[in-house]
Amino acid sequence: MTQATKILAFAGSARVASFNKTLVKIAAEGAKSAGAEVTYIDFLDYPMPLFNEDLEAKTGLPESVLQFKALLKSHQGFLIACPEYNGSITPLLKNAIDWATRPAPEEAGLACFKHKVAAVMATSPGGLGGLRGLAHVRDILEGIGTIVIPSQKAIPNAYQAFDQGLLKDEKQAADIQGIAQQLVKVATQLNR
């Protein structure tokens, strides 16, 4: 019996009521329906100091970074909801990626990201839905060896788009779950 493909789902937001956390949870349901084993994490549970190479040299990788790296390495794919800050990636998400690229002892460089597959999505109160930031996240992930599937989705007008943890528009919800299902398919094929 083959093991289920493992997908790690998270949002690049610290806000408790983040629309992007809601969005990635909707996507996670799509991945589960495609047969994946999904782990959802919240960065509030993995507080990481601002990346500083001097801190790393002095004390090593922080425990929260080691825990995050272990999760990345133990999953074949990533569902990432990416809030947009001033047209780009959030500092929280960039900091987590930067820390995770640092090799632990006896670990190959970029072990958390090489040969992994990701799907990116966003939502925001604005009319573009976070679309501009997705290009930056895609560039960063591809630059460190992650395959980012072509399909992505940005949901505009977030204040009106959600109701009690669900997307009001059934087509938008189907699109988000469809992207997650594509991610599972590609990650499964690549990890046979």
Closest by CA to 169, choosing from 180, 152, 157, is 157
How large is the average pLDDT for residues 120-143?
97
Name the average pLDDT for the chain.
96
Q: Is the pLDDT of residue 146 over 90?
A: yes
How large is the average pLDDT for residues 104-133?
95
Integer Cα distance of 182 and 33 in angstroms: 11
What b/e string do you get for 43-55 counting C-beta neighbours within 10 Å, with b at 16 or more?
beebebeebeeee
Strand 166-167 relative to strand 162-163, pairing: antiparallel
Integer Cα distance of 13 and 106 in angstroms: 31
Q: Domain residues of the chain, as ranges? A: 6-190
Q: What does the pLDDT look like over 21-46, one tens digit per residue?
A: 999 999 999 999 999 999 999 999 99
Q: What does the pLDDT look like over 1-10, one tens digit per residue?
A: 579 999 999 9
Tell me the fold of 6-190. Answer: Rossmann fold (3.40.50)
> Which pLDDT belongs to residue 109?
84
Integer Cα distance of 16 and 161 in angstroms: 18
Q: What does the pLDDT look like over 44-54, one tens digit per residue?
A: 999 999 999 99
> Which pLDDT belongs to residue 1?
53
> Which pLDDT belongs to residue 108?
87
Q: Is the pLDDT of residue 91 over 70?
A: yes
More confidently predicted of 192 and 76: 76
What b/e string do you get for 155-189 counting C-beta neighbours within 10 Å, with b at 16 or more?
bbebeebbeeeebeeeebbebbbebbbbbbbbbbe
